[in-house]
Each structure stands twice: as C-alpha cells, then as structure tokens.
C-alpha cells in the first residue's frame, strides 16, 4: 500500500496483488502506531473500482474510529466534487468536526507550492524555494527552509510549527519576518505566532 499526498488530501494506492485482509491489517497498524500520521479530520481518498462496497465500508468504519474520513474519488472529478456528490450516502459521524486539512506526506522541494484554505500538515521537509500557503496554521514534521505563510486570509491566530524552523521568510496574516542572514539549525521544535503585533518564535515541546 502506498499513501500519496495530493492537493486535497491523502490518497491510498494499493498494489494490484494485495488482498483485502492484508490492506486492512496494514492500515490498522498505521493507525494504531499512534504516529499521528493520519490526523483527525484528514480526508482519505481511494481510487474508484479498487475496493468492493463492503470492503469500503469496513475501511470507512476503521478510519472513523480515528476520526479520519474515507472517500472514493469519482472518476474525472476532483475530490471536492466527489465529496459533495457522495454526501447523501455516507453518514458522517458527528464526533470529530471535520475541518479542512491538507496533509502532504513527502518532502516539498524547491519550486513546489502547497496551498490550502484550511491548515496544512507536512510530514517531511520544506526545502529552500518551496512555498506553503495556508488559510489556517502550518505544522511541519521536519525541517522548514522554504517560505511559509499561515493565516493567508488574515487569521492572526494562525501559527507555524516545525521540528527545525529555519525558513527564509515567515508570513502570518499580514505580517512578514525575514530570517537572519545566518540561521543555525534549531535543536528543538519551535512555534511562530503573532504576539502584540509581531511575529515571535518560541521553542515548544512535542
């Protein structure tokens, strides 16, 4: 099984030969490993036709226990459209409120850009020349050396977290901070947020 990050969420891609019990087991292990890999509120999509209806339901149930929503993409439509189209069928449980979150499961390299109306979780590094723009907050499980803009639509409560926060520029809502010309690699996770009209950076525990 492979998990691919796409603009609109995560996509599960199965190997043609893998049988369903094996897939189910693998997903279960991932969820139970507690690696926070699938965050609450994440939308997962699978390609149409790969799973039988009963199998889909089993997986959807499994994911739901962890607050993750499973959707099957409808051929030729974007995730948003297929989510809308499928709504009547799937009973979205009310417990975790689904807020839009983009999950990217790879290193974002120079020249690549991730934009999202909601928040963004990057499980990988953000390299120099890469750009992350989020309406909400940005969480980077890796080293951030690119350009990050949280609260891009004016949310001054948005923040940016990274294991090693050493971006070229940080923007939160309407504020911009440039990195000093010599950045040392920080040894602790840090959080950038707005405090009395300024972007400040503080070490955090995670």
Q: Which residues contact 193 (CB under 8 A, 6 or more apart)?
A: 157, 158, 159, 160, 172, 199, 200, 202
Q: What is the closest distance, in whole angstroms, from the C-beta atom of residue 150 to another protein in the complex?
A: 22
Binding mask 127-166 for another protein (x = CB under 8 A): xxx-------------x-x---------------------
- Is 125 among the residues that bind another protein (CB under 8 A)? yes
Q: What is the closest distance, in whole angstroms, from the C-beta atom of residue 206 to another protein in the complex?
A: 20
The residue among 53 and 182 lying less far from another protein, judged by its C-beta, is: 182
- Is 30 among the residues that bind another protein (CB under 8 A)? no
CA distance to 59, 81, 102, 135, per residue, from 99 (Å): 21, 17, 10, 12
The residue among 50 and 106 lying less far from another protein, judged by its C-beta, is: 106
Q: Which of 182, 133, 184 is nearest to 160 (CA)?
A: 133
Q: Which of 206, 194, 7, 191 is nearest to 101 (CA)?
A: 7
The residue among 72 and 125 lying less far from another protein, judged by its C-beta, is: 125
Which residues lie across from 38 on neighbouring strands?
none
CB count, 10 Å around CB of 204? 12
Q: What is the closest distance, in whole angstroms, from the C-beta atom of residue 167 to another protein in the complex?
A: 14
Give all strands of the β-sheet with 113-116 in edge-to-edge order. Answer: 113-116, 131-134, 147-150, 169-172, 175-178
Phi, psi dihedrals of residue 93, rounded to the nearest 5°: -70, 150
- Is 111 among the residues that bind another protein (CB under 8 A)? yes
- Is 109 among the residues that bind another protein (CB under 8 A)? yes
Q: Which of 179, 178, 186 is nearest to 202 (CA)?
A: 186
The residue among 111 and 197 lying less far from another protein, judged by its C-beta, is: 111
- Is 73 among the residues that bind another protein (CB under 8 A)? no
- Is 169 among the residues that bind another protein (CB under 8 A)? no
The residue among 145 and 171 lying less far from another protein, judged by its C-beta, is: 145
The residue among 114 and 161 lying less far from another protein, judged by its C-beta, is: 114
SS3 of 150, please?
A: strand
Name the site residues for another protein (rule: CB under 8 A).
106-107, 109-112, 125, 127-129, 143, 145
């Amino acid at each position: 099984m492979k998990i691919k990050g796409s603009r609109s969420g995560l996509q599960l891609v199965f190997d043609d030969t893998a049988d369903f019990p094996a897939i189910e087991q693998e997903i279960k292990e991932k969820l139970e490993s507690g690696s926070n890999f699938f965050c609450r509120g994440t939308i997962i999509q699978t390609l149409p036709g790969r799973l039988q209806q009963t199998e889909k339901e089993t997986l959807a149930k499994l994911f739901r226990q962890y607050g993750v929503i499973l959707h099957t993409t409808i051929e030729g439509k974007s995730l948003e459209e297929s989510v809308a189209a499928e709504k009547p069928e799937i009973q979205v449980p009310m417990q975790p409120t689904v807020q839009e979150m983009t999950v990217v499961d790879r290193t974002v390299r120079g020249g690549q850009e991730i934009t999202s109306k909601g928040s963004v979780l990057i499980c990988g590094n953000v390299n120099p020349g890469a750009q992350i723009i989020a309406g909400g907050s940005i969480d980077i499980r890796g080293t951030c050396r690119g350009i990050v803009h949280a609260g891009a639509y004016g949310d001054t409560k948005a923040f940016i977290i990274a294991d090693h926060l050493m971006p070229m520029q940080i923007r939160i809502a309407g504020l911009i901070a440039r990195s000093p010309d010599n950045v040392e690699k920080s040894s602790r996770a840090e959080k950038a947020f707005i405090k009395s009209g300024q972007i400040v950076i503080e070490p955090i525990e995670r």
